[in-house]
Structure 1
Amino acid sequence: MAHLRVENFRVFGPVAQGEGERGDALSVSFTAGTNVLVGENDSGKTAIVDAIRLCLQSAASDYYRVSQDDFHLGKDGRAETFTIGCAFTDLSTEEQAVFLELLTHDRDGTAWLCVTFKAQRMDPLRNRVSVTTRTGPDGNGPALDGAARELLRATYLRPLRDAEAELRSGRANVSPGVFGPPERFRPANPESWREIEFWAGLELPRDYKRFVDGYGDAVVFRHLFIAHPEGADPLLKVMQEERQTFLAGEEGASDVAPSESSGMGGFLPWAYHDFNGDVCLLVPPSADNLDWSVAVSFRQCPEVQIFPGGVTEFLQDLAQGEFPRGWPRVGFDWASAEGSPLI
């Protein structure tokens, strides 16, 4: 990564609007190897690191979601959007081949991969934020597909100021220390996952499959049953039966592959709540949202609510005490399904 630009994100404000005006946006270049940020408190060091995390969707032990406080607060109020751009150069021939359709070339013919993350406030009262990640120097190029995202994904190592406290199982840490060691289960046979994905016509998100392999066929948060491909209530059976319920309520719906369906028929059930019958759904990527999302179908009052982020983020929200409407607010809990064949 050779360059970073940040506009209207936390302490960094907008770019200068005219000659002689002072802009508060950030534009910084990096050198190859190790780069060190030095500055006083509240000067923006953490904001720079978090900006890179957002743009690259870095893997980390703690999930980071955009909040209203991330939008720059200036003299005219809080910004409606913020933009983060990361630019990569000195790409190898192999890297240029992988990102071929996403590259930009400067006047010297040098290839650049420019990635722009943009967030827009939608509903401040409910903390709803719309985010997009696109390529091109102005963020108007093609969107990053799944393979490109994986190649750019980095790992964020958070500051370890108190090692003992950081490594202790805590309320905000969805970890094996909370749900139990995953080795007590056996992962699903790859053929079982392939059977499900063949039926769905979609490749399921990796974080979801990892979680199910480690902790599936169990009840978490006392009421949420996580189906497993080879569990007591097999995942494919759960998906098919719950999907039939959705199709029965959709006029003109046909029983085709979820990837070819519209509306609720395209959603994939993956867990259900035994307290009120609510069903958790996987929402496939679409033209409007390029990432997998999670939705909850409320049984008592027919309605579907979509939650930004995937399964990992959804579970992290539950761990933080942010439950969907009508769900009992309980602490961490994990229990194997009765008679599970996976123990």
Structure 2
Amino acid sequence: MSKLLKNGFIFLALILLAIVSFSVEDAQAEDGYSENLIPKMTSDISEYGKASSSSNFGSTPSWKAFDGVLTYMDGGNFHAWGTSEKSGWLAYEFTTPKAISKYVMYNKGTWPEQFPNTWTFEAWDGSNWIVLDSHSNVTADDWVKNPEQSFTFENTNFYNKYRVNVTLTNSTRLIVNTAISELQMMEKISTPSNPKSILLDRNVLELLEGSQDKLIATITPDTAKVIWSSSDESIATVDQDGNVTAVSEGEVIITAKIEETNISATSTVIVKKPNNEFSNAILSITLVNGITKEYDVTNTVLNNYLNWFDSAKGTSTFKFSKTISPYKKVTEYIVHDKIASFEVREY
């Protein structure tokens, strides 16, 4: 080693040891892109992929640009790929193909002139390097102002191997003339389609007072949440599963709306009084606390109760309406898991 080179290297090492450095977490995923797909490396080869370069300086091998430390030097150790050449390439080869459409370069260090001025981001198709992205005239001052720079481009093709090919560096006369502190690569994430439509299985629903029925909403996509509402709950109510309960005679609009949108569908519910004024059965319900409740019900209400009892559970409730003087109407709610037994006496 020449005396000039030796003295230069000693001077370089002394300056680097004086750097106040720090490490930060990997780039976090942003909307539309994955997190960094290259796991932290401790050598040029791992079970996930392989790092390589056109050449490198002894203490700055290829894998150092994929070790998860974003600064050129940390704790007195180098954490970057570097070469004494004023151009060169740094590559990563995945074990499984990836459709990379974003990369981030971190260049934090004392010598910003080492960092790329002109480069292309390329993919290997098995025969040729395909240029996916290119940049030029990124100066040392640009790297000082923004040592973390991300670049996006359109790419839907899957390749195993990608590289940054630096054709011009900002360096003038350093031992390491081309360097990259950290290189990360991301894929584009398909954004789920926004809800576009909602339909109800019936535009008009007729019910007798005290009866129940269910409206079914078909939505696109089927993962969207539906919010149900009634324009007049004194006539008919609806729960968040689309179950409609007729309360009193009248007409009401039931609306099913996709959450956080203005997209909705409606059904007109017409509530009528029963054709006969007389009941068809006495429903006697014994609760777990020993209290017995009796209701004079129509066949429609009885059938609704039987259907509810077979399918409901836990704290689900069934509503009974009856007249008790001097009140206009009294509504009682029976909780499913409070029912010990019940008896039906038809007449």
Hey, which of these two has a bigger chunk of strand by percent? Answer: 2
Hey, which of these two has a bigger chunk of helix by percent? Answer: 1
Provide TM-score, normalisation by structure 2. 0.20
Return the index of the structure with the highest Cα Rg.
Answer: 2
Provide TM-score, normalisation by structure 1. 0.20
